[in-house]
Amino acid sequence: MRITSISAYTVKADVRYELAGGTRHENQLPGSDYLRFAPYPQLYSQRSEAMVVRVETDEGIVGWGESQAPVGPEVAQAIVERVIGPAVLGHDPLATNVRFMDMYGTMRVRGQITGYQMDAIAGVDTALWDIRGKAAGLSVSELLGGRFRDVLPCYVTGLRGHSLDERLEEAVGWVEQGIGIKPCLGFGYDDDSREITAIRDAIGDRGPLFVDGVWKYSYPEAVRIGRVYERNGVEFFESPLLPEDVSGHARLARELDVAIAVGEPLRTRFQFQPWFQAEALDLAQPDLMRNGVSELVKIATVAESFNIDVAPHTGCLTVIGMAGTWQAAAAIPNLFVQEYQPVMLETFNRWLDEPLWVEDGRLVVPTGPGLGIDIDMDRFERDVDSVVTIREDR
C-alpha cells in the first residue's frame, strides 16, 4: 500500500470557543479574526478553527487526522504541503512509526521539534493510524493493544455563564449528569477564592472538581490559592505557573497536596521528560492533536514508568480529533480522566454519519475500524475555508 495524496484543510466554523464566562472583557486584534479574553494573554478566534488532514492510498483506503491549530491553522496546513507531506508521499502508510520519524526528522536538526511543526505531524500521523485500522478491520484502540475501557470518565472545561449564578447553575447541571467540571480561573486570589468556594457549595460532593489556572499565577500566589483549592476538594490544579517554569512547578508540586497538571504546551516525550525527572507534575496532559497517536502513547508509557497518570488535553477541536483522542485514551492503562468539549461536539457532530455520543456522563468510544467514524464530505466541506492537496504525480 502507498500514500497517493495528502489534503490539508483549514476548517472555520461559525461558533466561538470561549474560555470562561468570568472574563472581564475581550480585545479584538486589528485586521484579524483573533482576540484576547482578559485577563488571559493568549489568542482566541471568533470562529472555531482547526487543520484537518485527509490521506488517500492506492488501495482506496482513506484516513483522517487533525492538528490542534485553533489560531493560524494555515501555518500547519503549509507545513503539511511543503515540508512533512512530501516526506511520506508514496510510502507505506501502515508503517506508522517509520512515517512518524520520517516527518519528525525533516526539521529536527534545525530545532523545529515543537509548535506548528509537531501539530502538522500529529494530524498526518493520526490519519495514518486511521488507515492502518481500516486496513486491518480494527479500531485504533485495538491496534494499540486493546481497550482498558469502552467508556471514558470526563470533565468539561470552563463555565461560560456571565454571572456567578449562571455559572453555578451550569456547574450543577454538569455534575448531575455525572460529568466533572474545570472552571478556568486566574483572576486573582479574592475572585478565585470566592468562585471555587461557591462552586463547591453549589455542587456539594456530587462530582469531581478541577481548576485550570491558565498559567496566570506567580509562585506565591499559586501556593496561597492552592491551599483554598485543597480545602475545596479540587482534584487537580492545571497550568498554575508560566509554561516554561519547570523548577517552579516542581516546588509547587512539593508544596501542595492538590495534584499539579501540565501538558498542553508539550509536544513530545522528549519535552515531557524534564518535567517527569524534576517531579514537576503529578498528572500529564498530552494532546493527541499536538502529539499524534504515535507520540501520545509513548508519552503515556513514559508517564507510567514514573507512576504518573494521564488526562489527555483537548481544546478547540472537531470530532476527528475527539475520536482519535478517545481511541487512544481507551488503550492507555494509566488514564485518569478525559477532557470533554461539549460545544465542539455539538458543532462538528454534523459531519458524521454516526455521531459521537455521551452516555451516563461517560464518553462512548467508537467501535468501528480506525478512528471509528465516517465523514460525510458534503457536510464537512461546508466548514472548509481552504484546502491544499499534494499527489505523487504532482
Three-state SS annotation for 359-373: ECCEEECCCCCECCC
Distance CA 80, CA 78 (A): 5
Q: Is residue 285 part of a domain?
A: yes
Q: Is residue 369 part of a domain?
A: no
Same domain, 175 and 324: yes
CATH number for 229: 3.20.20.120
Distance CA 184, CA 158 (A): 5
Alpha helix stretches (DSSP H) within 19-61: none
pLDDT at 23 exceeding the cut of 70: no
Same domain, 51 and 172: no
Q: Is residue 218 part of a domain?
A: yes
Q: Structural domain tally of the chain?
A: 2
Same domain, 120 and 156: no
Residue 235's domain spans which residues? 145-364
Same domain, 195 and 327: yes
Q: How confident is the model at residue 72 (pLDDT cuts 50, 70, 90)?
A: very high
Q: What are 108-143's pLDDT values in tens digits? A: 999 999 999 999 999 999 999 999 999 999 999 999
Q: What are 214-239's pLDDT values in tens digits? A: 999 999 999 999 999 999 999 999 99
CATH number for 58: 3.30.390.10
Provide mean pLDDT across the span 77-103: 98
Provide mean pLDDT across the span 62-82: 97
Q: Is residue 288 part of a domain?
A: yes
Q: What are 28-41's pLDDT values in tens digits? A: 899 898 999 988 99
What type of residue sits at position 146? G
Same domain, 114 and 167: no
DSSP label of 29: P
Mean pLDDT is lowest, of 18-22, 89-93, 261-265, for 18-22
Q: What are 288-325's pLDDT values in tens digits? A: 999 999 999 999 999 999 999 999 999 999 999 999 99
pLDDT at residue 24 in the model: 62
- pTM (two decimals): 0.97
Provide mean pLDDT across the span 350-363: 97
Same domain, 53 and 166: no
Q: Give me the chain's average pLDDT, please.
A: 96
Q: Which residues belong to the active site?
A: 313
Q: How confident is the model at residue 164 (pLDDT cuts 50, 70, 90)?
A: very high
Same domain, 131 and 157: no
Same domain, 357 and 380: no
Same domain, 156 and 259: yes
The answer to whether the CB of 281 falls within 8 A of the CB of 262 is yes
Q: Is residue 370 part of a domain?
A: no
Q: Which three cell numbers stand for residue 346?
A: 455539538
Same domain, 117 and 167: no
Same domain, 108 and 237: no
pLDDT at 394 exceeding the cut of 70: no
How far apart are the two ends of the chain, measured CA to CA in Å?
A: 19
Percent of the chain with pLDDT over 70: 99
Provide mean pLDDT across the span 318-338: 98
